[in-house]
């Protein structure tokens, strides 16, 4: 739909400045003809916080048979907001997970091995692609146009809601409370750490048991090999003397065969233990690698932790509703009864009118609102025009009576006249 809309506006000759959605691109490789990066914004210390480069992008239409829309792009890299590189964690897991450790810190299968947090994931600057249908527009100019539009879009909030203190939490209690979402994540990570540590320790215990068993098998194999060598010497002597038919030869030959069988049995068990040991080492390595990643996650959560304070949500919601209603009422009054010069003004400019004092006179059929006049002649003219529009509109109050507005005397003059009038 975005491509169709931009194509229609391009045919009509209109200029469009907007931003690509996050699902329309992946990274800088998604753009064509990316130019050199230039400084766009700096902080108070002179450090570059935003860079901009010119590029081009092809917007595909829903119908593949329709031609795509090619637009100019201003790529903005915001170094104040760093995002993790996609696929970086998978790349780290496939490579040597102990590359950052010293030699004595790599013996994860030994007792007392202490896991260290894994290195932080690589990050990259946030990419903001601003596109336009106008050809030949410089990247810096396009970026400035887009950010100026942000200010225009925020006029309603700035001119109406912020002056009414919509950004103020009325229910703020200043009592620090636990960040429930962060606490849940920390509990999950802590349980994973404990589980991985238990599994890794169980692997180390099993490796120790296999080592002791291998040591016993080695000793037994050595004893049987020595016995086999002694018996083999005796068999060779019998065979050299041609006494293979003697009665003493067969018991020696039988013991030699039995010793050889025992040696082979021990060697086979050692080979099986070697296979088991390697499988356990692989498991221990997996648990230790996961342990380091969990420690990294724990540190990231601690870095992201923010203090939270108790709020009275009910009070905030009521005050927000009243403020939004007041802002809408003010804008409706401005659009209906104020002159052309007030059609795009904000709350601050209309506030003197809303704060005017006056007198209310009621009869059976109407309610007369007599507003105090300003000391400024221009404002008096605007007030008179406002009163004429209200009266001409024949506004009816909820009880059916008609509202009549008029401009009276200045407040100070009215009060002075009241003081000078003699009382009976």
Per-position b or e across 320-341, b if 16+ CB within 10 A of its CB: beebeebbeebbebbeebbeee
Report residue 419 as tokens: 């003081």
Q: Which residue carries 């200029």 as its tokens? A: 15
Give the distance, in angstroms, between the CA of residue 218 and the centroid of all CA atoms in the same chain.
Answer: 57
Compute, in degrees rounded to 10, the torsion defined by CA atoms 315, 319, 321, 322: 140
Instruction: Give the span between the Cα atoms of 316 and 309, in whole angstroms.
Output: 14
Long-range contacts at 313-318 (CB < 8 A, ≥ 24 apart): 313/171, 314/171, 315/170, 315/171, 316/169, 316/170, 316/171
Q: What is the pLDDT of residue 420?
A: 44
Of 84, 83, 87, 78, give the one whose Cα is nearest residue 53.
Answer: 78
Q: What is the pLDDT of residue 199?
A: 92
Q: What is the pTM of this model?
A: 0.50
DSSP 370: E
Q: What is the pLDDT of residue 192?
A: 93
Q: Which residue carries 């809601």 as its tokens? A: 161
Q: What is the pLDDT of residue 190?
A: 93
pLDDT tens digits for the chain (424 residues)?
A: 445 445 444 444 456 677 787 778 888 888 888 888 888 888 888 888 888 888 888 877 767 676 777 788 888 888 888 777 765 555 455 557 777 777 777 788 778 888 878 877 788 888 888 888 777 778 888 888 787 766 555 566 667 777 777 767 666 666 778 888 888 999 999 999 999 999 999 999 998 898 888 888 888 888 888 888 888 888 787 777 776 666 777 787 888 888 888 888 888 888 898 899 899 889 988 898 889 889 988 888 888 788 787 766 777 788 888 888 888 888 888 888 898 888 888 888 888 888 888 889 999 889 998 988 888 888 889 999 989 998 898 888 888 899 898 988 765 555 444 444 554 4
3-state secondary structure of 415: helix
DSSP 32: B
Report residue 28 as tokens: 């800088």
Q: What is the pLDDT of residue 325?
A: 87
Instruction: Give the span between the Cα atoms of 414 and 92, in whole angstroms.
Output: 81
Instruction: Give the span between the Cα atoms of 383 and 342, in whole angstroms.
Output: 12
Q: Report strand pairing: 402-407 vs 366-371.
A: parallel
Per-position b or e across 214-232, b if 16+ CB within 10 A of its CB: beebeeebeebbebbeebb
Instruction: Give the span between the Cα atoms of 145 and 15, in whole angstroms.
Output: 12
């Amino acid at each position: 739909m975005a491509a169709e809309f931009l194509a229609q506006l391009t045919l009509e000759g209109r200029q469009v400045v907007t931003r690509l959605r996050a699902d329309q691109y992946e990274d800088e490789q998604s753009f064509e003809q990316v130019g050199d990066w230039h400084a766009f914004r700096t902080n108070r210390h002179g450090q570059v916080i935003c860079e901009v480069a010119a590029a081009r992008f092809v917007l595909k239409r829903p119908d593949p048979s329709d031609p795509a829309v090619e637009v100019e792009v201003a790529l903005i890299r915001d170094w104040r907001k760093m995002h993790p590189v996609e696929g970086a964690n998978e790349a780290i897991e496939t490579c040597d997970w102990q590359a950052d450790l010293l030699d004595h810190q790599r013996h994860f299968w030994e007792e007392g091995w202490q896991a260290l947090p894994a290195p932080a994931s690589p990050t990259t600057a946030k990419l903001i692609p601003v596109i336009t249908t106008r050809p030949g527009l410089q990247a810096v100019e396009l970026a400035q146009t887009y950010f100026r539009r942000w200010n225009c879009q925020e006029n309603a909030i700035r001119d109406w809601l912020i002056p009414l203190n919509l950004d103020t939490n009325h229910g703020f209690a200043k009592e620090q409370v636990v960040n429930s979402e962060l606490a849940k994540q920390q509990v999950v990570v802590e349980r994973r750490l404990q589980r991985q540590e238990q599994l890794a320790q169980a692997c180390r215990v099993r490796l120790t048991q296999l080592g002791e068993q291998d040591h016993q098998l080695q000793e037994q194999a050595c004893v049987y090999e020595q016995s086999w060598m002694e018996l083999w010497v005796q068999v060779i002597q019998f065979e050299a003397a041609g006494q293979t038919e003697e009665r003493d030869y067969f018991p020696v030959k039988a013991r030699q065969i039995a010793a050889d069988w025992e040696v082979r049995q021990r060697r086979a068990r050692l080979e099986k233990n070697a296979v088991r040991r390697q499988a356990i080492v692989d498991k221990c390595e997996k648990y230790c690698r996961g342990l380091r990643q969990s420690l990294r996650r724990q540190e990231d959560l601690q870095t992201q932790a923010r203090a939270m304070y108790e709020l009275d949500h009910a009070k905030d919601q009521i005050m927000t509703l009243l403020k939004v209603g007041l802002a809408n009422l003010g804008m409706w009054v401005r659009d209906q009864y104020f002159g052309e010069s007030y059609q795009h003004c904000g709350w601050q400019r209309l506030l003197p009118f809303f704060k005017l004092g006056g007198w209310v006179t009621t009869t059976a059929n109407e309610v007369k609102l007599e507003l105090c006049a300003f000391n400024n002649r221009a404002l008096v003219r605007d007030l008179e025009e406002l009163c004429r529009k209200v009266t001409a509109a024949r506004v009816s109050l909820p009880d059916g009576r008609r509202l009549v507005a008029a401009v009276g005397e200045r407040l100070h003059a009215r009060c002075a006249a009241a003081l000078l009038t003699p009382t009976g």
